[in-house]
Amino acid sequence: MSSLHALVTGASAGIGAEFARQLAASGCGLVLTARRTERLEALAAQLRERHGVDVACLPADLADPRAPAWLHEECARRGLAIDVLVNNAGYGVTGSFLSRPWQTHADFIQVLMTAPAELCHRFLPAMRERGRGRIINVASLAGLVPAPAGHTLYAASKAYLIKFSQALSLENRAYGVHVLACCPGFTHSEFHDVTGTREQMKGMPRWMWMDAGAVVSDALAAVERGESIRVSGRVNRAIKALVKLLPDRLGERLVAGGGKNFRDST
């Protein structure tokens, strides 16, 4: 019989690594995937030693359109049934839309939009057959507020994940499968180092930031409750509520005024 595992994408650092830690602490076996093999293997060794769980590492680049099918096939070949799917892999592309070549945007869309949808499509049928499954798509508060200039596709991709998760949740509740869009705000991770915006982020007040551990524990509790959208933290939930009350044009002006201090929009 296949053993039940959680598949976590983008598991080599940040929120993805924290999902791996907390799931392992609960006794869940893991399948970890990311591009950085050495980091994956180091995390896997740590989790095996600390929690005594089975951890498989399947390094892959989700910008490759073949990667989702390969991950599904490799899990099946190894007899690893995926009970929890965490679509966490992601990054940001700085600058305005036309300042980057199309292939950069195409890769971004593949990683943040196409790959999560395909992984859901491939792993969901078995979850429905077993009568239980959990899918967490890591979106962002950015998908719920007006989008600033720069990082042009980022908020759009997160809004897509939120709506996708909401519909998928409604379609699969009757089968025992819970689907959640996890929507953190500013979170301590390597995200801004990778995008080269760490200096801009130093201007953000401390109360705007959350710890990755708090984001993950909140998301895991929310998916068990059957929520379809979870905004992490009271400050971020207050921002979401406030934005709903503002006229669109005013919201856009506020974002345009403040966003330029924290974004590279060249």
Q: How far apart are CA 183 and CA 144, in angstroms?
A: 9
- Rounded Cα–Cα distance for residues 62 and 68 (Å): 7
- Provide the pairing of β-strand 209-210 with 186-187: parallel
Task: Assess whether 154 carries a catalytic annotation.
Answer: yes
Pairing of strands 55-57, 80-87: unpaired
The number of C-alpha atoms within 13 Å of 229 and in the hemisphere containing its C-beta is 17
The length of the chain is 266
Indicate the DSSP class of residue 204.
Answer: S
Task: Please report the beta strands in the chain, taking only residues with DSSP state E, as ranges in sequence order.
Answer: 3-9, 29-33, 55-57, 80-87, 133-138, 177-183, 186-187, 209-210, 229-231
Neighbours of 29 (CB within 10 A): 21
Catalytic residue among 91, 154, 160, 175: 154
What are the φ/ψ torsions at residue 200 (nearest 5 degrees)?
A: -65, -35
Catalytically annotated residues: 154
